[in-house]
Amino acid sequence: MDFKNSLSMYLIGGALILFIIAQSVFFLVKAWKRGRELGLSSATLRSTVTTSALFTIAPAIAILATVVSLAGALGLVLPWVRLSIIGNLSYETVAATAAMEALNHAGGMAVEVKDQTLFATIAWVMTVGSVFPLLLLPVVTKPIQKKLNTVVAKSKSDLPDILAAAAFIGLIGAFIARAIAGSGEKDIIGDGAGVLSVITLVSAVVISLLLETIRKKLNVNWLQPFVMPLSMFLAMGVAVVAFNLLPADVALLEWRG
Q: Which of 23-32, 189-198, 243-252 has the lowest mean pLDDT?
A: 189-198
pLDDT band at 234 (very low <50, low <70, confident <90, very high): confident
DSSP symbols for 223-245: GGGGHHHHHHHHHHHHHHHHHHH
- Report the phi/psi class of residue 116: left, alpha or beta, with left for phi > 0 and alpha for psi in -120 to 50: alpha
pLDDT of residue 19: 92
The pLDDT tens digits for 27-51 are: 999 999 999 998 888 888 888 888 7
Domain residue limits, the chain: 1-137, 158-257
pLDDT of residue 188: 53
Mean pLDDT, residues 109-122 taken together: 87
Alpha-carbon gap, residue 109 to 67, rounded angstroms: 12
**Mean pLDDT, the chain, as a whole number?**
81
pLDDT band at 108 (very low <50, low <70, confident <90, very high): confident
Instruction: Check: pTM over 0.75? Answer yes or no.
Output: no
Check if the beta carbon of residue 164 is closer than 8 Å to that of residue 156: no
